[in-house]
């Protein structure tokens, strides 16, 4: 497989929950376990977009409070 962000060959793939691209481990900016079975991932490009970063952080805060 090829990373859709940096075009490198990837062995372990992740999917950004905000732009839905398949990315490699080095393109993942942050990831957080929201529940026991769901993990949310944000890539470096989406981290630079403030509305998407706010959405990611609000999901993270809600999961910590519960």
pTM score over 0.85? no
Residue 24: pLDDT over 90? yes
* Residue with the larger pLDDT of the pair 17 and 61: 17
Q: Is 59 exposed, middle or buried (0-12, 13-18, 19+ CB in 10 A)?
A: middle
DSSP assigned state of 11: S
Q: pLDDT (tens digit, 9 = 90+) per residue, 35-54? A: 888 899 999 999 999 999 99
């Amino acid at each position: 497989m090829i990373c859709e962000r940096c075009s490198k060959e990837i062995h372990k793939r992740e999917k950004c929950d905000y732009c839905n691209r398949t990315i490699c481990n080095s393109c993942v900016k942050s990831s957080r376990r929201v529940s026991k079975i769901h993990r949310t991932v944000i890539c470096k490009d989406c981290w630079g977009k403030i509305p998407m970063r706010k959405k990611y952080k609000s999901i993270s805060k809600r999961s910590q409070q519960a």
